[in-house]
Structure 1
Amino acid sequence: MDVQLRRPKLLLELVEQKAIMASFRGEEIQRLGCFAKLAVKSPIDAFNLFLTRDLVKLIVEQTNVYAASNGERSFQVSEEEIFTLLGVLLLSGYRPYPSRRFYWNLADDKENYLVANAIRRTIFESILQFLHLADNSKLVPDSMFKVQPLFDSLNEFFKIMSLGKSCTVDESMIPYYGHHVVRTKKWWWPFFGWAVDVSCVQGGFYIG
């Protein structure tokens, strides 16, 4: 399977857009206490602190390994393709459609050339199908094993980040209706998503 991209810089474009970062510019970033000690001069610099190149390389490696283990040995995903996939997911957060395939539908009431020109739908779905962060051959009895590398990477960043003088702690809901492993939840209770602890600094920006 030959995976090719037409516009691999989609993620960079999305992070720079006002729809994602509002007026989040370099000089404003420096004024936020949480980034005061870090070399952050642009929105994409801030984003890369959370999603490091090492983590992306791990995702690429494990995704290709998982695809090969499922008989798709010609499937090879690249770092730029992972960034593009993440860009589409970011876009879907503030411009949702009833169906994911609508992002590639060029009808007048649905057209979204940003996504359609960045990656083919079949390629996007193939990457999602094989997306992995951990090696299945080294499974351990931990329900979070398959996403633990992501948590480890984020925790390393949070260790060096200063919260600054003004910071609030709250939670944010992430809609989710699929399978979950919440053992303490009774089967007859509805499940609408995950509650994630977040912190906000002056200006209203989430930092984790």
Structure 2
Amino acid sequence: MSSEEIDTDNSENSRSDSNSKEEFSDNELDSQVWNEIDSESDGEFQEDYGIVDEVNPPSQDNTIYPIDCYRHFITDEMISLMVHETNRYAQQHLQAQELTQRSKTLQWKPITHEEMLKFLGIIIEMGLIQMPNVDYYWRKSKLYGSEVIQNTMSRDKFELILKFYHFSNNEEQHEDDDKLFKLKPLLDLLQLRFMSVYVPGSIISIDETMVPWKGRLLFK
């Protein structure tokens, strides 16, 4: 067999393979053609949906500020939960631990509703203006430091609240497989609040997370 005949056979085989691939691709496309399906519902969606509890502007000029939207979801009941459980956990810790006289933990005093709001405000501020570590926000320097945070709360007070920050009672029994038991009281309140503010319609698109997470997540 000559080299020309071999080349001819190879070219025919390649064309045959190409045609089969094209046919396979066409079949795939045919299978992806959209076909309407019958709805399994008894009728059209007739429930009221959308925002059912709008943010009411507290100011006379009807201006809605970010804090108004924040407090629309983070209610006084949630703040009271944080205050109560944080104070409870601090008391449990003080009773269970043997502390030296030089321990900063002995400076703990039960926090108030207003102090918890200040603490949360500092957390948000730290998220907006990031520094190498927490201590930098209380530095007296031109490069680092935050006058807003320094004038809001002392560093020792902030660190103590952060140490005892809690949403549930550690001494209560819980199911062993409940990985979110420490957050559950707050999550329950948040869920009820979200449901009371917004009612979804009949068509819902659930997208993946917008923030990448590469750590371990036990409750997936």
| TM-score interval, normalised by the smaller of the two chains | 0.5 to 0.7
Deviation for aligned residue 1:75: 2.3
User: Where do 4+ consecutive residues of structure 1 move more than 4 Å?
Assistant: 33-36, 174-177
Aligned equivalents of 2:181, 2:147: Cα separation in 1: 37
Q: 1:35 to 1:149 in 2, by over 3 A?
A: same
Aligned equivalents of 2:131, 2:55: Cα separation in 1: 36
Question: Counterpart in 1 of 2:210?
Answer: 172
Question: Counterpart in 2 of 1:196?
Answer: none
Question: Counterpart in 1 of 2:191?
Answer: 155
Q: 1:106 to 1:169 in 2, by over 3 A?
A: farther
Aligned equivalents of 2:183, 2:211: Cα separation in 1: 19
Question: Counterpart in 1 of 2:89?
Answer: 66
* Mapped contact 2:82–2:167 kept (Cα < 8 A): yes
* Mapped contact 1:67–1:73 kept (Cα < 8 A): no
* Mapped contact 2:180–2:219 kept (Cα < 8 A): no
Question: Counterpart in 1 of 2:117?
Answer: 83
Q: Deviations over 1:61-86 (max 9, x none)?
A: 11111111111595201111111111
Q: Which has the higher strand share?
A: 1
Deviation for aligned residue 1:112: 1.1
Question: Counterpart in 2 of 1:131?
Answer: 165
Q: 1:173 to 1:139 in 2, by over 3 A?
A: farther
- 1:95 aligned onto 2:111: no
* Mapped contact 2:138–2:145 kept (Cα < 8 A): yes
TM-score (norm. length: structure 2): 0.59
TM-score (norm. length: structure 1): 0.62
- 1:119 aligned onto 2:157: no
Aligned length: 150
| SS, match of residue 173 in structure 1 | coil
- Structure 2 residue aligned with 1:53, among 45, 66, 76? 76
Q: Deviations over 1:136-186 (max 9, x none)?
A: 111302210111122111111121223689x97542327797xx55277xx
Q: 1:173 to 1:147 in 2, by over 3 A?
A: same
Bigger shift: 115-124 or 83-92?
83-92
**Contiguous gaps of at least 5 residues in structure 2:** 1-48, 58-63, 95-105
Q: 1:174 to 1:111 in 2, by over 3 A?
A: farther
Percent identity, aligned pairs only?
25
For the aligned residue pairs, the C-alpha RMSD in angstroms reads 2.9
* Mapped contact 1:60–1:78 kept (Cα < 8 A): yes
Q: 1:107 to 1:169 in 2, by over 3 A?
A: farther
Higher relative contact order (CA 8 A, sep 6+): 2
**Contiguous gaps of at least 5 residues in structure 1:** 1-32, 185-208
| SS, match of residue 210 in structure 2 | strand
Aligned equivalents of 2:219, 2:199: Cα separation in 1: 33
